[in-house]
Amino acid sequence: MKTGMLLIIIGLIMFSVGLVLFYSIELGQTDPVLRFAKNVGTFVGLIGMGVALAGILLYLIKKNEPPIKEYYDI
């Protein structure tokens, strides 16, 4: 598997785990463990978006393009 696609998949998994952690815990929790899990979900989701974007850019940069054929008249 190419590196770009692997990063895109990992980023999407991280983003979805972050969404689950963030939205599964109610707002205004006083338990420090749950608040920590909600904050971890925020950061995992944001980092997942960055990793997915890096994978997309890497995929686009390394995409095989046909060589440019130049015809010169001499």
Please choose, from the candidates 62, 50, 44, 48, the residue with its C-alpha nearest in 3D space to the C-alpha of residue 3. 62
pLDDT in tens, 12-41: 999 999 999 888 888 777 888 888 988 899
pLDDT at 18: 93
Domain boundaries, the chain: 3-61
pLDDT for 67 equals 74
Q: Is the pTM of the predicted complex or chain greater than 0.85?
A: no
Return the exposure string of 25-39: e unless at least 16 CB atoms fall within 10 Å of the residue's CB, then b: beeeeeeeeeeeebe
pLDDT band at 2 (very low <50, low <70, confident <90, very high): confident
Residue 45, CB half-sphere, CA atoms under 13 Å: how many? Answer: 14
Q: Give how far the C-alpha of residue 57 lies from the chain's centroid of Cα atoms, to the nearest Å.
A: 11
What is the average pLDDT value for the chain, to the nearest integer? 87
